[in-house]
Amino acid sequence: MSPTLPSPILVGRERELVALHERLDAALAGQGSLVLIGGEAGIGKTALAEALCREAAERGALVLVGRCYDLSETPPYGPWAEALARAPASDQLPALPAAMLPPRRDGAALTGQEAILRRVRDYLAALAVMQPVVLLIDDLHWADPASLDLLRVVGRGLADVPLLLLVTYRSEEVDRGHPLAALLPLLVREAHAVRRDLRPLDAASIGALVAARYALGDRDRDRLARYLVGRTEGNALFLGELLRTLEAEGVLHATGERRPLGDLEGVPVPTLLRQVIEGRLHRLDLETERLLAVAAVIGQEVPLSLWAAVGAVGEDAVLAAVEQGLAARLVVEVVGDARVRFAHALIREALYEGIPGIRRRRVHRRAGEALEDSGTPDPDAAAYHFQRAMDDRAAGWLVKAGERAQRAYAWLTAAERYGAALALMGDGADAAARGWLLFRFAICRRYADPDEALSHLDAAAEAAEAVGDAMLRARAGLYRGLIHCYLGDLQRGIAEMRVGVAAQDALVAAGQTYTPLDAVDATNGRGTLALWLANAGHLAEARALGEAHLAGALPPPEGEGSAPYADTHYALGLVHAFGGRPDEARAHLLRAAAINHAVGHRQISVNVMRLAFHHVRLPYGADRVAERGREAAELAVAQAGQADAVREREPPEAMQPDLLLLEGRWAEIRAIAAYVAESAARSAPIMSATTPETWGELVRAQGDAATARALVVKWLPDGPGTVPGSGYFATAIGLIRVAAALALDADDARHAREWLEAHDRWLDWAGATLGRSEGAALWARYYQQVGDTMKAYTHAERALAHGTEPRQPLALLAAHRLFGELDTETGRYDDAGRHLDASLAFADACAAPYERALTLLAMAEHRAACGQTHEARTLLDEVRAICTPLDAQPTLSRVDTLAARLDAAKAVAPVYPAGLSPREVEVLRLLAEGRTNRDIADALFLSEHTVRVHVRNILTKTATDNRTAAAAFARLHGLA
């Protein structure tokens, strides 16, 4: 057959080829991309991708291919390691991680999965600069979880790199529970991946293939096309195999000479690929057929040396089998390597399934033993073969495979291997070894499934108890406490961590050691315990433990380096932030972020940066807008660039909801919350995208009291009686303030008082400074609402004092506004004006539009009280302009109420003598009736103190000395 004739694989793929050529052209020009090619088995995905790879090589690109394999355990980063193993060596390239290289090759020793993913991404970028790269990852549906993480990281950074990344996968394998199901839409959104799903070839395409490939008359051409459509259902692989079978049977001729089509119905045409393969095998000699069956057991790619060892033959016999397999199109050569691979995964599957089970197990055992004897066996391959052979040696190799995966930070893969080993261990297994295996499984699964991890830690603790392994018992307790903290049960978690840390310290002091498998497992627990103590509000204990750890009073176990101190700095940063020491807090938090970044824990590093922003920059330096903006930008860049292998990446803005709230970017917070809620890859509740207290403030400000209350109930299920230390301290005190404000909004003084007492109780218990100004301001509002103006002023003064030392611009803004509102109500208009001016200055300095709107509204109320109606209306217009886009309904309602009052006052337009205000006239009328201050207060719903202030102002304005003279003034001017 002429090589120019069309391939059945590529016929009918014109649209796909155009799209692939566009992506190849762009990559060669310096703009890379990711292309996802899906479809059913045999549809032509690999052939289409390989055709583009051949063209890319002809045009000067470096082509790298890595494949995933079924019927075997793909090791961590397996297809990537296979592809990169064929890349040219160069001193100009970054060193590949050891996790990506075979044991006999040295690589970079990196800590943390994120460091590994970044290094591979950087390596590929540098390689593509030297020569444009086309990288094919074939059969992604069989990939290990770590390979999927790497795909996501590499795919996001292709826009400016001359690298075309091709990925194929079987769509029927990717059901809702498959990890790839959640990843595919993310790749389209994040990496702007081009997605092409191949469909079966239609009748027109098959007819065109027949017309171009065979010299047949019209009648025969139509008959063959109908036959092919009916037998293959458009599957390209089946189509090609069926055409070859017809040619081999002499029914169809591929020469250029026109020859009639034979009897199609008389030929035993196979309808399944297995039948096609079996038909070809029958034409091979028995030894070649046997050796091909052995190769199918070994794997999709078969090293010739391993094939010879497992088949118990010499090199010549293997080469003879290779030649026959190539001629029958069952295998293809791997260029540049002493191995072959099956032409299609379906061919290998059919061969494998055709082998009797007893024989299959024997061949698997020989394969495992041959790998053992090789000197540097792949533990995943050895484990796979011994598993299939039902050999007891499988458990040991599974553990080795898990350890390799854990060292490479491929925790989910490690957990799969440990879990499989546990399943193979019988009742007679070494209890101590089983206990440690349970422990390793748990720590690798603690993020993916905390409940499952807890159950395995419980089992590990039981095993430790049975064999007297004190170190295992201590570490199981430490991690069990840590996971309880993750789940929000801080009281139980901290209690268990205390016990575990104390037990481990005693064992280390007695000379026992523990060898961790990764930097995370290396934690000695002291810094982590200090961190969770700080999170829960045990500030004094956290500070004492953290400072002792840093001082070296409790030296770290051997080999831990600086990593354990990251949590210690993290803890001390929170302690100082809550304690009102911003400089110390910032120094410790930035140190914690730097250590985590250095050891590859970039997600944790970003979280620490976020908390430094949330607990230090905003409360203590919100008015330093330039510095605030620089830190926010750095945080956004760090978040956008980090690789999160545990959960779906959030938009950069999701790390800064408090800033979005302050800057009036409320729609963005709503969008982030909706994004998280709709994401199928997230199992966390909606508030995982924002700090709960920030979300509570937002929905309350927008008038959504029901959502705000639901949030309070979720995080503080025992209401005001929630015990201090039972939850996250910062979240608790923030939501307690939201709950108190909601009660005040509803004129529910009783519940407001209960929440405010709870707020004081939490702050006093923790010894915290941060939050005291806000709490005092809420107390002032409470006393203002119940009519006790004296106590309202007392707490307003406290709010101002707490906001002054240490200096907290946002707290000062609110405290000055509170004073302005109180002074307006009591007629101290000059004092009110000064405080409101100060509040407005802080709002502008902090670039806080909503806070500015609240202060402008207070100023409008002040101007209205002073009779300055025009100024009041102008201020209300600006408040509306700010609050309408924010959908701040409660504030807009206050604007409407004041505007209605101004309209009513304009209709009557009374002008009172001596400059008396409407409120003062009301008080004067009642005074003229002989009412006491208490009577007047009750009638006007004012405090007695406020009435005394009004009476004093009336006497001053009317130039009278006593109440009798003031009453006479009222009668004289018709006010009585």
* Distance between CA atoms of residues 76 and 411, nearest Å: 9
* 8 Å CB contact between 759 and 737: yes
What is the per-residue pLDDT across 808-819, written as a single tens digit (0 to 9) for each?
A: 999 999 999 999
- Model confidence at 839, pLDDT cuts 50, 70, 90, reads very high
- Residue 271: is its pLDDT beyond 60? no
The CA-CA-CA angle for residues 400, 403, 407, to 5°, reads 145
Instruction: Compute the average pLDDT of residues 598-612.
Output: 81
Q: Tell me the average pLDDT of the chain.
A: 86
- Give me the pLDDT at residue 427, please: 63
CA distances 72 to 348, 385, 918, Å, are 12, 8, 87
Instruction: Compute the average pLDDT of residues 535-564.
Output: 74
What is the per-residue pLDDT across 527-541, written as a single tens digit (0 to 9) for each?
A: 889 999 999 999 999
- Residue 266: is its pLDDT beyond 80? no
- Give me the pLDDT at residue 687, please: 37
What is the per-residue pLDDT across 457-474, written as a single tens digit (0 to 9) for each?
A: 999 999 999 999 999 999
Looking at the DSSP bridge assignments, the partners of residue 138 are 67
* 8 Å CB contact between 835 and 797: no
Instruction: Compute the average pLDDT of residues 550-562.
Output: 53
Instruction: Compute the average pLDDT of residues 224-240.
Output: 77
Instruction: Compute the average pLDDT of residues 679-690.
Output: 38
Range with top average pLDDT, 320-329, 400-409, 634-643, 893-902: 893-902
Q: Which pTM does this prediction carry? A: 0.76
CA distances 798 to 772, 842, 894, Å, are 9, 18, 27
Q: What percent of the chain is modeled with pLDDT above 90?
A: 51
Instruction: Compute the average pLDDT of residues 323-327.
Output: 88
- Give me the pLDDT at residue 255, please: 63
SS3 for 278-301 is HHHHCCCCHHHHHHHHHHHHHCCE
Which has more pLDDT, 146 or 684? Answer: 146
What is the per-residue pLDDT across 483-502, written as a single tens digit (0 to 9) for each?
A: 999 888 899 999 999 999 89
- Give me the pLDDT at residue 767, please: 96
What is the per-residue pLDDT across 729-765, written as a single tens digit (0 to 9) for each?
A: 999 999 999 999 999 999 999 999 999 999 999 999 9
Q: 292-295 long-range CB contacts below 8 Å, 24 or more apart?
A: 292/321, 292/325, 292/330, 292/331, 292/351, 293/351, 293/352, 293/354, 293/355, 293/363, 294/363, 295/321, 295/325, 295/331, 295/340, 295/342, 295/351
Instruction: For the chain, state the CA radius of gyration.
Output: 38
* Distance between CA atoms of residues 774 and 796, nearest Å: 10
What is the per-residue pLDDT across 498-516, written as a single tens digit (0 to 9) for each?
A: 999 899 888 888 888 777 7
Which H or E run includes 65? strand 62-67
- Residue 646: is its pLDDT beyond 90? no
- Give me the pLDDT at residue 268, please: 52
Using CB atoms within 10 A of its CB, is residue 585 exposed (0-12), middle (13-18) or buried (19+)? Answer: buried
- Give me the pLDDT at residue 133, please: 94
- Model confidence at 4, pLDDT cuts 50, 70, 90, reads very low
- Model confidence at 28, pLDDT cuts 50, 70, 90, reads very high
